[in-house]
Structure 1
Amino acid sequence: LPEELSRVHNTFHVSNLRKCHADEPLSILLDGLHFDDKLHFVEEPVEIVDHEVKRLKRSQISLVKVRWNSKRGPEFTWEREDQFRKKYPHLFAKTASS
């Protein structure tokens, strides 16, 4: 295993082995990936690209469309603005100045 994955156990039971039909476009280079101390992918938001207000019967929910630096999941997601503003306030400073 590469040095970045040295904490992953490199021995597997034979029942976990499957024949590999490698498809080169599906492979991911480890260079652009970041892992935390528990070997979870670290994906950061890049920018807020859109804003929308969902109207329900008695309330409104502000949403923001976020572009992520994701290599494995969706590039864009809709997130609740209030929760996202608490976690990533620096992204809202960018949108306010432009």
Structure 2
Amino acid sequence: MRPWGTDLLRESSDKVKVIQQKLLAAQSRQKEYVNRKVRDLALMVREKVLLKVSPMKGVMRFGKKGKHRPRFIGPFEILRRVGEVAYELALPPGLSGVHPVFHVSMLKKYHSDGSYTIQWVSVLFDQNLSFREKPMPSWIGRFRS
């Protein structure tokens, strides 16, 4: 026998409540996962930061492979804060094609030890902060041990 009228309405509302409870549980679980990864990075105006760069896939970065390749360029000075999570940087004329406002995830605080950075002058970047470096010839790798 099929439910009619109020029975159908009651079953439907019960199912909707169960679905809402499961959605809330899933949302809170996802929020926990995100909050584990969030880092509070409070930057001040006039502070120096490094800017994350991304290479084109399959191309060596500055003659180094693997985890030892440089990932940041800089340092650049913060001119102002734009909204909650964006900062405007003082970019040099060589990077005039790049928009000066960056999300906080693209920035890293600069510490005076610059061994893990490269100077932006030596590389040409496009508007997406991607770069292309000439790959090393295969015959050079044979002579390295």
Pair member with larger Rg? 2
- Structure-2-length-normalised TM-score: 0.26
TM-score (norm 1): 0.35
Greater relative contact order: 1 or 2 (C-alpha under 8 angstroms, separation 6 or more)? 2
